[in-house]
A and B are shown apart, each in its own frame.
Chain A
Amino acid sequence: MASIRFKNIIKRYENGALAVDDVSFDVADGAFCVLLGPSGCGKSTLLRMLAGLEAITRGDVFVGDARVNDRSPKDRDIAMVFQNYALYPHLSVLDNIAFPLEARGVGRKERRDRAAKVGSSVQLDGLLERKPAELSGGQRQRVALARAIIREPKAFLFDEPLSNLDAKMRQSMRAELRMLHRRLGVTSIYVTHDQEEAMALADQIVVMSAGEVRQIGAPMDVYNAPADRFVAGFVGVPAMNFLEGRVAIDASGVNFVCEGNLLPLPRNWGEALRSHIGTPLTLAVRPTAMRLTQSGVGMSLRVRGAELLGDQMDLHTLGPGNTPVVARVSSRVDVREGDTIRVSCDPIGTHIFQQGPFGLRVCGNWSETSNAEPSVASAFAAT
């Protein structure tokens, strides 16, 4: 086991495209770190640079204390699990698992014994003599895992390993991966664009966009206190609602003014927002923070449709200025298309960001609002 360190990593391709732009962060020994971001954000490139499969334009990569930039992939003591499993199609499951040992010259008997033991540890008993094409997707991914485990590497790298599996299998493999990590305790770096997967697996999430790191933190920190508007929009399902407007502070309190609507904010946000009075800002509210209200307070939303999810449903609505707004409410509520509903917003899950796609967070989150007056903090009154 070893810690991993990325120091000022830059990757520029020959055509001039900048894939990774000055990325630096550490992954603690034994941690499960997830690189999360949309396609093309540079997360896989970063992983491949760590694996030695991609040249680093500038910067240093450390595995433990050793700088590994100039080491070949096999000398970095890192194992990788690929999205398409990358199993040798003509070899049996046992030989696939044993392949890294064969490549290192381990004797036939020893490598077969060890492969059988590792195969058994990932529930591949009875499948060891089969060819990869005779296995289901989940079984193939287990073979790929076993092939990584048998090397007893310092770190595991996972490049979207569950993308090819169906939803049910993905969920079950996710749990297995988490248990495997707990059992082995090996430092793991996992690339995915699926934020649910990231939340479920990670000790540490690194959110990336356009080759840059947008936020590093524990899953709940990233969820509760997104560093910028991009992270807020990317993490969480359904995605956050964004309303453009300005902040006004007067005797009546702190308000967010949006398309003529006056939306009260918690009083204790005033200090953080004072320097932003008059400047364009973005109000972000999680759909799960929307509460249907019968009283006169709250924001008016015109319902366009709904998605039933079982106990809950997502109401697709139009808010102030015809901005699309999604509210997750109980599916027992009787609402029809064309109805106007009023919602209040829980401050847990409400944030203010500077404008722009990467606008920084000005204030929000539950810890900052913990002293807020509930009556004010829990509702936006539509005007």
Chain B
Amino acid sequence: MSSLAAPATLPGSSSPAPASTSASADRSRSVFPWLLLAPFLLLVLVFTIVPLFGATVLSTQQTFGPGTSRFVGLSNFRGVLSDPLFWTAFKNTFVFTLGSVCVQLPLALCFAMLLNQPGIRGKTFFRLILFSPVLVGVVYVAMIFFVLFQKRTGLINQLLAGILPSWDVGFAWLDQYIMLALILATLWQYMGFNMVYFLAALQNVPKELNEAAKMDGANWWKRFRHVTLPAITPVGSFVVLLSIIGSFQVFELPFLLLQGSTGVDNKGLTIVGYLYQTGFQSGDLGYASAIGWTIAIVLAVCAGLQRLLSAGSEVSRGGKVARGGGAK
């Protein structure tokens, strides 16, 4: 029998931990994290929690300017739900949201997929070009598109007339089709931003999966459906949610494009625009708060749906089991 020790050095025994720690050290250890968090918590308290609480209280009151108010219970909410102007604003906002999500996001995904192709030259340049509009302030975007969408002299009408001879250069983008104009303007501004999200997601699609699918004989569509789409779904659903939230909050762009008005037949009235109108122009902050809470509830439902969808896709990929270490 060999009496020789193994050559590998055994880990040396470490010195024993101190038997006790002083109570003051314990206290400072428990206080220190809160000290670090304090500035953030203070800001959240002052600018989020207190206003949220205030808005909740306000939504149950009828106000006549900031000074006068009376408790009305839930009648502000009943009023909002039976208000035809609210529903016009809701319809307009919904159309804008639908347009933004259904046009902007697929286009963003297409550009991301194009830029994700191997061997594309000038990727960084194109990424910068497509992303840069998001750096432009909304006021400037409104100014640019106000000029572009003008009847007869606007570049967009001129361009379309050049391409389609039958196009009417007097096409009233800002009067009759303000939501379409808004969709196009936000498409220009935010498409590149969303593209960056998709590009990041696409770069995480396992290369081997795509190669396996290629060897299995899958065409482009099958590879997209079975490899790319499942892999980018978590990011995709997050981008959809962000886009819905952003679209429901649209205010500055129509406000500036329509120069403070709500457009012909309120075609440019959005929910936040209506909230602004009732709260800060008519002075009924209680009613405006009820509108605000209604938007919040709609967005919470959307977020809940997104969570459900994400959870569903995770389960379908077995993600929950995978985190548990995999069944044998």
Chain A residues near B (Cβ < 8 Å): 51-53, 72-74, 78-80, 82-84, 86, 88-91, 99-100, 102-104, 130-137, 139, 147, 151, 303-308, 313, 315-316, 331-337
A78 and B215 contact, CB distance less than 8 A: yes
In the bound complex, CA of A306 to CA of B211 (Å): 46
Q: Which residues of B contact A303 (CB under 8 A)?
A: 4
A133 and B5 contact, CB distance less than 8 A: no
In the bound complex, CA of A136 to CA of B322 (Å): 10
Q: Which residues of B contact A136 (CB under 8 A)?
A: 326-328
In the bound complex, CA of A88 to CA of B168 (Å): 51
B230 and A90 contact, CB distance less than 8 A: yes
Q: Which residues of B contact A83 (CB under 8 A)?
A: 208
Please, which residue of chain B has its CB at the minimum distance from the CB of A89? B317
In the bound complex, CA of A89 to CA of B218 (Å): 16
B208 and A131 contact, CB distance less than 8 A: no
Identify 27 residue pairs between A and B in the complex whose beta-carbon atoms are under 8 Å apart, listed by A's number. Answer: A51-B211, A51-B215, A52-B214, A53-B214, A74-B216, A74-B218, A82-B211, A83-B208, A86-B208, A89-B318, A89-B319, A91-B226, A99-B216, A100-B216, A100-B217, A103-B219, A134-B321, A134-B322, A136-B327, A151-B216, A305-B4, A306-B6, A306-B7, A307-B8, A334-B2, A335-B3, A337-B4
Tell me, rounded to whole Å, the shortest Cβ–Cβ distance linking A136 to chain B: 5
A89 and B230 contact, CB distance less than 8 A: yes
Please, which residue of chain B has its CB at the minimum distance from the CB of A127? B327
B217 and A103 contact, CB distance less than 8 A: yes
**B235 contacts chain A at the CB level, 8 A cutoff:** no
In the bound complex, CA of A74 to CA of B3 (Å): 60
CB 8 Å contact bits of B189-210 with A (1 = contact, 0 = none) = 0000000000000000010110
Tell me, rounded to whole Å, the shortest Cβ–Cβ distance linking B247 to chain A: 29
Q: Which residues of A contact B219 (CB under 8 A)?
A: 103
Interface centre among B4, B230, B321 (most CB of A within 10 A): B4
Q: Which of B287-328 contact A (CB under 8 A)?
A: 313, 316-319, 321-322, 326-328
Interface centre among B215, B218, B318, B319 (most CB of A within 10 A): B215
Give 8 nearest A-B pairs by CB, closest first: A305-B7, A133-B318, A131-B318, A133-B322, A86-B212, A74-B217, A100-B216, A103-B217
Q: Which of B1-39 contact A (CB under 8 A)?
A: 1-8
A73 and B215 contact, CB distance less than 8 A: yes
Q: Pick the contact of B1 from A131, A334, A337 — CB < 8 Å?
A: A334
Q: Pick the contact of A131 from B3, B212, B321 — CB < 8 Å?
A: B321
Q: Pick the contact of B216 from A103, A133, A313, A331 — CB < 8 Å?
A: A103
A133 and B3 contact, CB distance less than 8 A: no
A133 and B321 contact, CB distance less than 8 A: yes
**B227 contacts chain A at the CB level, 8 A cutoff:** yes
A335 and B327 contact, CB distance less than 8 A: no
B318 and A88 contact, CB distance less than 8 A: no
